[in-house]
Structure 1
């Protein structure tokens, strides 16, 4: 239904360009059926493009039938009046919001166009206490996305309370930008803990000295553009939801702008020590500022829009 509906809509509306996210393969089918250019917009590392490249590289040339993606997209393309090409899996261009230290190595055949990450949190009211005087202590944000609380209770060695106590043991002010369900699990928080609840990170993180999180792209990249050192706990994500978080965490760690907890079981003392290193070590702050400078130097949306406008006239 999505392919037929999208193709029909595009034929009525006649777009000059189709921008699609990496899992919506109906979009390039629709674009190719109209003969208009199409562009992938990455919301994470290009693991899909890399997996596609490795799959084709390992596939014997005399394989008896097309691979499943080629088979399915080829059928959809023929039904829509066009033919399948590999361009349908990668677009004319691929918009990539990651600066070079975090981006994956180039994938052959993928024309990567860097674009600056713009933090987005939707419409929100910034809490009044953010504009107030600081306590004089370092400020640390804790955010765990929307899927981590069950994982904390079932497999990582610490529940929310243990995690909060470990972070507060550094003496920092710990701001809990958690969901209501996660806050409901909190019992007797230590002194210096602020149960803020859902808070727009683009307003909170510029006031923080560090952020502790699960490795989600939105949190990681918002911290990145604001130059905030990061402590990443990818193991708190339920396995069924893991995508690129461990890979991103490792690349951030390698660049020096953050630290990654690699052990499957979280230990309070280890977390306290790692957070203390982020707060006290100048090298992590400098690396985070350097990464922010590289991210902010990437072409902004206006410049990217100019490139895409050119693409609609040239098709290349």
Structure 2
């Protein structure tokens, strides 16, 4: 297991800089009043391909040798990583294949294809996606870029919180969604080295709370096919991300489906920005558990804005 370092993050920041946005940090007086804290939203919904995962995908793809890149890249993804890997592969001019559950939002399947990637569908379980993926790699010889259990990907995701602490001084805490743990791991990598006084919280749906249960148990607990509207947070932790979560995360908070929907509506209504359900989970957990954040300066990583407009969760 190769654990990424601060030098890896700094190298990733230089490598991907020409291909990503330095995304804005936005605030809302209404949200601040609601939770009793100052919230600073790092808006990766404005990132290339609509999600933070462009960072990790680009770092992995642009760092490949010519020999590694020759057969293209492949991954399994519920949407955003696949979309971002297709975007990154397009920048490199190589092939990209994404294994996606048939239940993934049509908008995310269309986005993969829109960036030139190929979609192979599977059943909506971790075991199915990994089995179908193994068949694709055996047939194509493509380089595997894991959505999160990959040191190159985590180093890329770590550039997000590096930007955040450049943009906002004096943060007390940072809250980010957790599924497989790529963004949280990147956040841990950066903050533990550059701002170790900032507490790191992860936010997770109650209906896909394997990271929460893992954190409490002290070892990885995996669910094969959880059901939640936060489709980007259905995957389990892996050894590399567990290393960061178990070492640096202060706590993991959870929110119900309805609480996630209400938080998503608040962001749309008061901030006038489009975020996907996974991105609303941190705000939902802060509204539900305001005590640890009361009076503090809190960064929230808004991870993406790729929404199926035909299937809004409150429709």
The TM-score normalised by the length of structure 2 is 0.28
Query: Which protein is richer in strand relative to its size?
Result: 2
Structure with the greater relative contact order (CA < 8 A, sep ≥ 6): 1 or 2? 2
The TM-score normalised by the length of structure 1 is 0.28
Larger radius of gyration: 1
Query: Which protein is richer in helix relative to its size?
Result: 2
